[in-house]
Amino acid sequence: MAKAEDVKVKPRSKRAKRILEKREPKLVEEVKTALLLHGNKTSQITKDVLTDIHKLKFREALKLSRKNDDMRPFEPGGETHLEHLARKADCGMFVLDSHSKKRPHNLILGRFFDHRLYDLLELGVEKYRGIREFAAASASVQAGNKPCFAFVGEQFESDPDFRQAKSMLLDLFRGRLVENINLKGVDHVMFVAALDRKLLFRPYAIRFKKSGTKIPRVELAEMGPQLDLALRRTQPAGPELEREAMKRAVTTKKKVKNVSRDNLEGKVGRMYVPRQEVDTMPLRKMKGLKRERQQTAAAAKVDKKQRSEGAPTVAE
């Protein structure tokens, strides 16, 4: 018997058809929408952190207000309801907050592949200052603009847990992938430093000041949220799921005959021209040849007239 998620749903309206087409796999995937939700027990600190993440993500996040008792992603079977919500809301990742005596002020970050749980990262909030405490700096940042990222620390290259944390933070805050961007569109920096087993998360607002030249003077002002995050638990993707997620679609272009590419000359083509029969080809008469024939004809006419009158010709 087929599972409920394996059954293909037929749209009953044009709007439903557009929604299903939007959720279909694409060669270039769109930005991941984050699902922000609460666990069974939460604290005011983790609630404020989710609110600040929602402000930074703007329209690329969906925040739910109800508590969820059956969401324990690290336990077997605890991801079922989470995957159901992700499939329903079409979200690519999630941030779940919880609070307990063993793990106080806890944040769980995770990603999905094909609406299945891919990997997990658990962080503990040890220090927090919200965006509301940096209202002057955060007011200059426009929602939807692209951030710069600065990851400081050799752990982001050597430690697999820190590499996973870097990848998740990039997916969470980078926004839409673009080829070109205006200088005014980059108005904040995400600064993340690795210290022991902690992540120091510091967003800064970029301010362009007058410098007397065409290049402005750049200043940074902390905009919040200021977070000290302790790295607790991680769960990497399974080998089979990772192999499936890393597959790339084969894009085969239709081959054009007699056209190739050269590293120096670029696009090179070969043209085939049939043999031209010049002898039998009706060529266009040039004006110069036409004038020459007219002069020859006029001279012959004068010569004939002189012969008829008995006058000596030019040849004589």
CATH of the domain at 186: 3.40.50.10480
In a domain, 217, yes or no: yes
Answer whether residue 139 is part of any domain: yes
Per-residue pLDDT of 82-114, as tens digits, reads 999 998 888 999 999 999 999 999 999 999 998
Is the per-residue pLDDT at 4 higher than 50?
Answer: no
pLDDT tens, position by position, 163-195 = 999 999 999 998 877 778 777 778 899 999 999
Element (H, E) at 26: none
65, part of any domain: yes
Q: Is residue 43 part of a domain?
A: yes
pLDDT at 140: 74
Q: Which of 31-40, 46-55, 78-87, 142-151 has the lowest mean pLDDT?
A: 142-151
Asked if 251 and 133 count as a contact pair (C-beta separation under 8 A), the reply is no
In a domain, 254, yes or no: no
Contacts of 161 (CB under 8 A, 6+ apart): 231, 234
| Tally of domains within the chain | 1
- Residue 158 domain flag: yes
pLDDT band of residue 2 (cuts 50, 70, 90) is: very low
Angle between helices 44-57 and 160-173 (to 10 degrees): 60
- Identify the pLDDT of residue 28: 65
Asked if pLDDT for residue 129 goes beyond 70, the answer is: yes
Residue 1: inside a domain, yes or no? no
The angle subtended at Cα 257 by Cα 256 and Cα 258, nearest 5°, is: 120
pLDDT (0 to 100) of residue 278: 74
Q: What is residue 44's predicted lDDT score, i.e. its pLDDT?
A: 95
Q: What is the pTM of this model?
A: 0.73
Please give the radius of gyration of the chain, using alpha carbons only, rounded to the nearest integer: 37
12 within domain boundaries: no
Interval 196-224 mean pLDDT: 90
Higher per-residue confidence, 7 vs 242: 242
> For residue 286, is pLDDT > 70?
no
Residue of 148, 126, 112 lying closest to 228 (CA atoms): 126
Q: What are the Cα distances from residue 40, in Å, to 65, 108, 227? A: 12, 13, 23
* pLDDT, tens digit, 9 for 90 and up, residues 269-282: 888 888 877 777 76
Q: How do residues 224-261 score in pLDDT, each as one tens digit?
A: 899 999 999 999 999 999 998 888 777 677 778 888 88
Q: Taking 90 as the threshold, does the pLDDT of residue 198 lie above it?
A: yes
Higher-confidence position of 27 and 57: 57
Nearest to 99 by CA among 52, 50, 47, 61: 47
User: Does residue 284 carry a pLDDT above 70?
Assistant: no
The range of the structural domain enclosing residue 182 comes to 30-236
Greater confidence (214 vs 49) lies with 49
